[in-house]
Amino acid sequence: MSDLYSQPVFLLGFGGVGRALARQILAARARHAQRNRLRLVIVGVADSASSVMAPSGLPDAAILDLLERKGRGERLADDPQPPALDSLPAHTIVVDTTATVATVPWLMEAKARGMGVVLANKLPLAGDLRWWDAIADARARWETTCGAALPVISTLNTLLDSGDDILRIEGSLSGTLGFLSSQLEAGVPFGQAVRDAKAKGYTEPDPRQDLSGLDAARKALILARMLGYRLEMRDVAVESLYPPEMDALSVDEFLREADALDAPMKQRAAELTVGGRKLRYAAEIADGKLRVGLVGAAPESKLGGIRSSDSIVVFHTRYFSDNPLAVSGRGAGQEVTASGVLGDIVSLSRAMRR
């Protein structure tokens, strides 16, 4: 179909989300052609070890081969040369599905060259404010940084564009901490709840990455910056669910010694659930400030009514005051995150084409 618009796409990161995205791009060929007169052309793939570049586009067979190589634990290419963005078309969309700040120089160069950027990686947007200022503009999309494919970012953009006043945002932004909160509320000892969550695959390999609250704080910081709050991470009040001295332990040692936190966490949960309130680990953004930590939510509230492993963001605005606007659902998972990234690519391509 010669009248299709050819959109170059460069993938930074080829882990679980990156590979799911590549498969979804191939599977959606017919839909994109029919619905958007669009063909997404993967012009390069890079991970931390190697890269493959093809400015005119990688054939689908080559992409399938890269998926197989990566699935076998092999390098994408035998030559570990870093990617060279200057060899790519000027209207390329660079997609970051990594979880590292090492991609920031590539993102900054892409923006300087007039390229588009799509991020699932929240670290560049929750890092130095200079990164935010350089990246987060009309040639960028970052829907999946705050809840996989949940339309949190697009909803907030619509509210802001409509002239509504955002009075307060609250949200449960971590399925892992949502699960732990429900377990604590049910009386499960903290140490056991942490081990159960890890066994079910809900946590990172080191559960402290979730328990520190930093992941939830980064998501909330992105929302706060969209409101115009000039905040750095050091300005955010973050409640960690374990004391800092436990950072020195190995993962196995931490999992064993987490039982020492059973009593204080039981007391904390009891204090917050008085009167039937629901225990949640939530963010609150209001009056230029941002806090994340345990709260007791009224059971009839939007925050109190979600399923434990779901994510929710509640927008209290001038127009949505008596009944605040909520976006909720599954907020994690490689396939659903990849689908959100793919939606961002199509949206940005449509905007850049204009």
Residues with catalytic annotation? 219
Both structure tokens of 164: 């509504």
d(CA 175, CA 281): 10
Other CB atoms within 10 A of residue 304 CB: 19
Q: How many CB atoms lie within 10 A of CB 228?
A: 10
| Cα–Cα distance for residue pair 18/35, rounded to 1 Å | 23
Number of CB atoms found within 10 A of residue 247's CB: 11
Q: Which residues contact 245 (CB under 8 A, 6 or more apart)?
A: none
The tokens 């092999």 sit on which residue?
74
The closest of 205, 218, 214 to 241, measured between CA atoms, is 214
Residue 339 near residue 149, CB atoms below 8 Å = yes
Written as six digits, the tokens of 315 are 């927008």
